[in-house]
Amino acid sequence: MDCQYLPLTATGQFSTLFLDYISQKETLQPYYDRFPTLEAFAEQAKNRAFDEAKRRTLVEVLERQYQHIPNKPDFSVLAQPNTFTVTTGHQLNIFTGPLYVLYKWITTVNLAKKLAETYPEYRFVPIYWLASEDHDFAEINHFTLFGKSYTWETEQQGAVGRMNPKELKAVFSQMPEKLFLFEEAYLKHDTLSDAVRWYVNELLGKEGLICLDADDADLKRLFAPVIKDELLHQPTSGIVTETSGQLEAMGYKTQVTPREINLFYLGDQLRERIVSETGADETVSYKVLNTELQFSQEELLTLLDEHPERFSPNVVLRPVYQEVILPNLAYIGGPSEVPYWLQLKGVFDHFQIPFPLLMPRNFALYVNPASARKMEKLGVLPEELFRDEVKLRRSYIERISEKSLDLSEQKVCLQQCFAEILNKSVRVDKSLEGAVLAEQARLMHTIDHLEKRLKKTEERNYETTINQLMTLKHKLFPNGGIQERTENYLNFQLNDPQFIQKLLTVFDPLAYQMMVLKD
């Protein structure tokens, strides 16, 4: 597979905050500890102490979660003090969801391999954090295969990881061909978390990728001190609000807005926010929104002690939870995740938890052989295809046209002529200045209009070629968006069983660029 790199700035697909982070803009340095270079991992490992008891708990939980999976990984390595994790996370989209989810997994796997080669004195384990407690079902219940969208309809509510996926049998009946891997996953497991763990192990288990479902009482117990502090003192809201204000003052758009209490109450078919109320007598009580559940402070702390699994962190505290329970060195995230992690550095400092190396995942545009041939025939460059359709048409016509469609030289000549006319006119009568400038503006506008007509006429002369170009654009950028955010990996894997293996071979986890991949 051939790989060509494009700067992310050339794609027009990423926020200024994300791009400035990648370019290591100095003003952003206070919002993270170390930039993710290969050398930075050595220093990160030296400063990442992790409790032996936490390691034992982590191993026990993983053994339990994988107990029914054949060929499961050897988790005992995580009990060793020289073992660290590198982690990515994502929602449990059906059939893996958009292509970039697979890219996150592969980036994480390849990072662990690269680190193992560079630092043989350590062990590195790639982790996929299952966003099993997320309750936004509408974000995970659909996917697109060969241009057709499929949706899982259900009455189930609450944490998606606890949902029974056997209802997906109705979706399988609509598909044009059998997907045995996913039928085995969804129709033979009782929870979505179990199903995802099974198929991820089938896809990338041999590469070392381990799934962790943090919806677990033993893991939540390790996180209980943070939960208690958040319930009693609500420190995170003020910290994140202050950081967000600083970033916004620099002109950046922030991703997350904190709540007063950044925790949910988690139960069967239920995940709702916890809010506090202060009575007339200054006593604090708590309630769960959209339910009749209410607690005194003492009752809620007793519940935390007895059932920590009923407390679920939101987007602000989930990263903290991750770093509490994992011996983690780096988090691999997308172009929305990296910016919101930058809002959280102060929260990590408050809880005295090391901030991980914050790494962008790999980005790629995959061009299949048929599309590659069309690109070659049309002579179109990869960076051109990232432009919007109007700019793509214009730039392409200007490049391939045998005639010069640019009237810039004529405009400069006209401006020079009018400069002389103006000079002569004002010497005769200064009141003529306005008339001369108005006539110049009128003629310049006329030339602009003629230039546009020239380009449109030339477009019609190349109509067949332009139609082919637009067909290629729509193929590689479905619905006008970037391929990896729409397409499912099955669109490529079903035609090329070696697709995943090829990505594993070509992806470089430390290449913060857009890869254009061609077979």
Q: Residue 158: which of 215, 237, 113 has the closest Cα?
A: 215
Query: Position 10: which residue type?
Result: A
CA 208, CA 124: separation in Å to the nearest integer? 9
Radius of gyration of the chain (CA): 28
Q: Residue 96: which of 495, 489, 502 has the closest Cα?
A: 489
359-383 confidence digits (pLDDT tens): 999 999 999 999 999 999 999 999 9
Cβ contact 232:210 at 8 Å? no
Q: Tokens 């059939």 appear where?
A: 95
96-122 confidence digits (pLDDT tens): 999 999 999 999 999 999 999 999 999
The CA-based dihedral angle spanning residues 250, 253, 259, 260, taken in that order and rounded to the nearest 10 degrees? 10
328-356 confidence digits (pLDDT tens): 999 999 999 999 999 999 999 999 999 99
Cβ contact 252:17 at 8 Å? yes
Q: Tokens 């602009």 appear where?
A: 448
Position 459 confidence tier, pLDDT thresholds 50, 70, 90: low
pTM as predicted: 0.88
Q: In 229-362, which ranges are E strands?
A: 263-267, 270-278, 284-288, 294-296, 311-313, 328-333, 357-360
Q: Tokens 């959280």 appear where?
A: 344
Query: Position 238: which residue type?
Result: G
Cβ contact 329:48 at 8 Å? yes
Grouping H, G, I as helix, E, B as strand and the rest as coil, residue 201 is helix
The token duo for 504 is 């594993």
